[in-house]
Amino acid sequence: MRLRIFLVEDSPVIRDALSESLEELVGARVVSWASTEAEAIQWLAANPSDWDLAIVDLFLLQGSGLNVVKSCSSRALRQKVIVLTNYATEPIRQRCLAAGADAVFDKATEIDEFTTYAIDEVERVAGETGW
């Protein structure tokens, strides 16, 4: 089984690059995406078991990624939520973790750590990946 990712990102350039990288490097599959808080919360409510990993940016076209993270509070234990943002200051990290995020990564400086996390999730969900 491939890792199913729900991506919350408002930049089409970043969203496309991230989707391609996750599919090629990690073997994951982006099952859907949203660019606003409302779209993300609606999709998550309509598809509660159709994702394994949600990747959420904090600053969206409308609303906040932090509210998207909070909306995942009743997710299954197997489902993980991570924040991938350009604003991963220590206070922001603490707010995200308090809201229910499993991890927080900086887009500019922690891509390797983010990729490692995604690979670990693939292994957790699907077994040995061969990486």
CB 68 within 8 A of CB 75: no
Specify the amino acid at residue 107: K
pTM for this structure?
A: 0.92
Does the 4-126 domain belong in CATH 3.40.1350.10?
no
- Residue 125 is predicted with a pLDDT of 77
Here the tokens at position 86 are 């350009």
What are the CA-CA distances from residue 102 to residues 11, 16, 87, 96, 109 (Å)? 23, 23, 17, 8, 18
What are the CA-CA distances from residue 127 to residues 6, 38, 76, 113, 114 (Å)? 20, 34, 19, 20, 19
- Residue 130 is predicted with a pLDDT of 45
Q: What is the pLDDT along the chain (131 residues), one digit of tens a residue?
A: 688 999 999 999 999 999 999 999 888 899 999 999 999 999 999 999 999 999 999 999 999 999 999 999 999 999 999 999 999 999 999 999 999 999 999 999 999 999 899 888 878 776 644 43
Residue where the block lists tokens 């940016």: 57
Please report, for the chain, the start and end positions of each structural domain, with discontinuous segments joined by +.
4-126
